[in-house]
Chains A and B, each alone.
Chain A
Amino acid sequence: MILTALVASPFLLGVLAWVLPGRTARRVVFMAAGLVQAVLAAHVILNPPAPEWGGALGADALGQIFLGIVTLLFALGAVYTFGYMGLHRHPRRRYYVPTMLFFLGSMTLAVLSRHLGLFWVALEATTLSSATLIFFDRSERSLEAAWKYLILCSVGIALALAGTFFLALAIPPGAEGSLQLDHLMAVAPQMAPGWVKTAFLFLLVGYGTKMGLAPMHTWLPDAHSEAPSPVSALLSGALLNCAFLGILRAFQVTNAAGLGDFARRPLLVLGFVSMATAAAFLIRQPDYKRLLAYSSVEHMGILAVGMGLGGGPAAYGALLHALNHSLAKALLFFTAGAVFLLYHSKAVAGVSGLARRAPFVAVLFTAGFLSITGTPPFGLFVSEFTILLAALAGGHTWLSALYLLLLAVAFTAMGVAFLGMIFGEPSEPPAQEVKGWHAVLVLAPPAVLAAASLVLGLYLPERLTVLLKSAALLLGGQG
């Protein structure tokens, strides 16, 4: 019952927000949705309920991790939106709140679905609902970005649907079975290996497109930089992870079919290609929101590398990294929104002297930079280091060296950009003052995220490690 309620409530509240007249009413519904989601999701994560819808809807360890990420970012994003839209002279659009809620509902359905067909439906629904949020300001650039996002992700996801069907065909004739995860895992050892391999490749390319793995990432920098900042944070921090979950589900089945080694190789290749592509585009990137978007490509690459290395510690590291990346990336996009308000420019060269103009924003931006580049003591350092140790333990000396090199390039490239923005002389008078209670709402969410990212670098609660370990176990990692 509770899982159904969790999935249904954003959709119902979305319809309500669509019907209700008046901005205030819609805002109240929006905040209520964030609150309901937080309460229900916390309940699901703390007391995992029995599966529903005949087993198609359930919260296993993987689902719980990603549900937590989606919920945390949405709840903070709802608070942030209040302040951001209050300060920003965005055109007011009636469809913003309903669409955001449909977006939340489809992400929730995706993380909770244990049926690959249902997962596909949910993930495609996330594309459709978020596309309208990307061209929110109807500028030429944002329309182009929304178009590329829609067509590339829809086609990519269509390939994943073909992969899903191939997987169903691989079920041995006569065997009971649907596309439900438990059924698939049970019959996986008897599946036709040729079909399973084809299916995995289609699913990897399809969901990999949505996850932003290079070379299918071309839509990502446009979409993530053109969307309004609260939307960017959800796209980068929550939605990319949902697509990653699709690849993990495909991996679970492939691994159960005894083809785990086959699946790891393309993951490793796509992971390193993504890290290298992102590093190349991070260097001298003139637009700071695009900088953050390319950094997402880099970190999705790290996740793929972690899964591609194989083994329990690497999978554990990848999942921890997914969580850490979400916190840090949302922190950065939230803060970037505040920087945009202060300077009315998305150009790295258009921002200077942030430390003098707005010290608190500068502190948040610095924390975000240190966190995203994996500097100790932030959380990403721990997860990147875990993956590195797993690579070394697996005897991949050269891959470890390449991994470190690419991380160093990304660190340097981002460092140059951030130093220039934070220090220096603030040029003209600020484009806009960021103060008052709106500013509190804009700055509190990133501050919470910065604290969370710092805490995860210093101390991992035992509950979290247990959850991550059991999730890694689902991915075939022993110990």
Chain B
Amino acid sequence: MSAWVHAILVAVLLLDLLLSVTSRLSVLIRGFALQAVGIAALALLLGGSQSPHAWIVAGGTLALKAAAIPYFLNRAAQRTNARRELEPLVSYGISLLLAALGVLLAFGLATRLPLEARRAGFLIAAAAFATMITGLLLLVTRTKALTEVVGYLVLENGIFLFGLTLLNRMPLLVEMGILLDVFVGVFVMGIVVYNIHRTFDHIDVSALTTLKEDEP
């Protein structure tokens, strides 16, 4: 394991902590995208730069998770006027504490599970678990629809990171399928969020006309 791999994994762990404390949607989206860049780099470092398989996975991750999904999420955020998560179920202090505990738990899990060091590095498993826990934390404690989408994406980042240790056991078709599913998933979720926003606006408008009819 090279120093680069370690540096990237530490960066992924730090991004987990950042994601758990930020209230700004744009920071959340950027944090997720940066994690995806890290995962793409790891795919190359772990899969070997000679392997076309690793290049395709890295390229797909970059194109979909670091570019297309953030772009789409930002557009959805603009259209629905969602900039900040104002009413999280727990305060950001507690959120940071939980995320830190999550990192500890992840390291604990990584040591306890019978993981063979040669096949899946200890630090990769720890970073993957920590990212999965952060994603679940975002899903459980945030209330805005788009923040939950990011939570799902972070959870999926963790799982995909874990999957990188299996690069040689997974056919390319399946990995591309996973990426495509996630991308289409975000697309469909974005459509639903947009429609929720629009429908509720419609409801406001119709409520106004009812009041008008009632007045005289």
| Contact assessment for A138 and B170 in the assembled complex, using a CB-CB cutoff below 8 Å | no
- Would you mind naming 25 contact pairs between A and B with Cβ atoms under 8 Å apart? A115-B171, A120-B178, A121-B181, A124-B181, A135-B192, A143-B192, A143-B196, A144-B196, A147-B145, A147-B196, A151-B139, A151-B152, A151-B189, A161-B156, A161-B159, A161-B163, A165-B163, A168-B169, A169-B120, A173-B116, A173-B118, A173-B119, A179-B169, A179-B170, A194-B113
B57 at the A/B interface (Cβ < 8 Å)?
no
Residues in B neighbouring A162, C-beta threshold 8 A:
132, 159, 162
Q: Which of A121, A131, A165 contacts B192 (CB 8 A)?
A: A131
In Å, the complex CA distance between A140 and B204 comes to 12
In Å, the complex CA distance between A140 and B118 comes to 52
In Å, the complex CA distance between A192 and B115 comes to 10
Which residues B157-214 have CB closer than 8 A to chain A?
159, 162-163, 165-166, 169-171, 173-174, 177-178, 180-181, 184-185, 188-189, 191-193, 195-196, 199-200, 203
Beyond known contacts A120-B174, A161-B156, A168-B166: 18 more, CB 8 A cutoff:
A120-B178, A121-B174, A121-B177, A121-B181, A125-B184, A132-B191, A140-B199, A143-B196, A144-B196, A150-B185, A150-B189, A155-B139, A158-B152, A158-B156, A161-B159, A177-B169, A195-B114, A198-B113
Q: Which residue of B lies closest to A139 (CB)?
A: B199
Known: A155-B152, A165-B166. A150 touches B188 (CB 8 A): yes
In Å, the complex CA distance between A154 and B148 comes to 11
Known: A124-B181, A143-B196, A169-B120. A56 touches B171 (CB 8 A): yes
Q: Mark B115-156, 1 if CB is under 8 A from A, else 0.
A: 110111000000000001000100100000100110010011
Residues in A neighbouring B118, C-beta threshold 8 A:
173
Residues in B neighbouring A143, C-beta threshold 8 A:
192, 195-196, 199
Q: How far is the CB of B110 from chain A (nearest CB, A)?
A: 12
- State the main secondary structure of chain B at its contact with A: helix
For chain B, the count of residues having a C-beta within 8 Å of the partner chain is 42
Residues in A neighbouring B200, C-beta threshold 8 A:
140
In Å, the complex CA distance between A150 and B193 comes to 11
A218 at the A/B interface (Cβ < 8 Å)?
no
Residues in B neighbouring A120, C-beta threshold 8 A:
174, 178
In Å, the complex CA distance between A135 and B132 comes to 29
In Å, the complex CA distance between A44 and B132 comes to 40
| 4 interchain residue pairs of minimum CB distance | A121-B177, A117-B174, A124-B181, A162-B159
Residues in B neighbouring A118, C-beta threshold 8 A:
173-174, 177
Q: Mark A143-157, 1 if CB is under 8 A from B, else 0.
A: 110110011001100
In Å, the complex CA distance between A165 and B158 comes to 12
A413 at the A/B interface (Cβ < 8 Å)?
no
Q: Which of A117, A135, A171, A179 has the most CB of B within 10 A?
A: A117
Q: Which of B113, B118, B145 has the most CB of A within 10 A?
A: B113
Q: How far is the CB of A265 from chain B (nearest CB, A)?
A: 21
Q: Which of B152, B174, B184, B195 contacts A138 (CB 8 A)?
A: B195
In Å, the complex CA distance between A161 and B165 comes to 14
| Contact assessment for A192 and B114 in the assembled complex, using a CB-CB cutoff below 8 Å | yes
Q: How far is the CB of B170 from chain A (nearest CB, A)?
A: 6
Known: A121-B181, A195-B113. A150 touches B192 (CB 8 A): yes
